[in-house]
Amino acid sequence: MMDWGSPEFVIAIIAISTFGWIINNWIRAKHGYELEDEWGGKTAKKADSDETKRLKTENRELHGKLDAMQDRMIVLEKIVTDRGYSLSEEIEALRDRPAQAPADSGVPIDLERKEKA
């Protein structure tokens, strides 16, 4: 038979009550409710300070910039991969070209065609 006045029973009741109070406050904190203190009073959540508001604004701006940079990276990856762009092949093609005269600007102009038109 259980002895209701034994020290083990009293300690078990205290442990269960404390554990329940901790779980209750954890659930309240998780969902943004006011917390209870040991005497049943409520502890209100502190309002955001100016520093916190500034940091949140800066964080939003940085996330926006990061999203824009990711979009730009996607576009650059498409340019490089979709067009069959190969930098090494273009460099090799330039090496294989014969040397051009210094006066040559590198832009071919068909003067005869312009005169006929």
Please tell me the distance from the alpha carbon of residue 74 to that of residue 68, in angstroms, as a whole number. Answer: 10
Judge if 59 and 82 occupy the same domain. Answer: yes
Burial letters for 96-114: b for 16+ Cβ neighbours within 10 Å, e otherwise?
Answer: eeeeeeeeeeeeeeeeeee
Judge if 33 and 51 occupy the same domain. Answer: no
Q: What is the pLDDT of residues 30-50, one digit of tens each?
A: 887 777 776 666 766 666 778
Total structural domains within the chain = 2
Judge if 23 and 55 occupy the same domain. Answer: no
Range of the domain at 78: 47-94
Give whichever of 1-10, 39-48, 77-86 has the largest mean pLDDT: 1-10
For residue 8, give the H/E element and its range.
helix 7-30
Judge if 51 and 38 occupy the same domain. Answer: no
Model confidence, pTM:
0.35
pLDDT band per the 50, 70, 90 thresholds, residue 59:
very high
Distance of CA 87 to the CA centre of its chain: 32
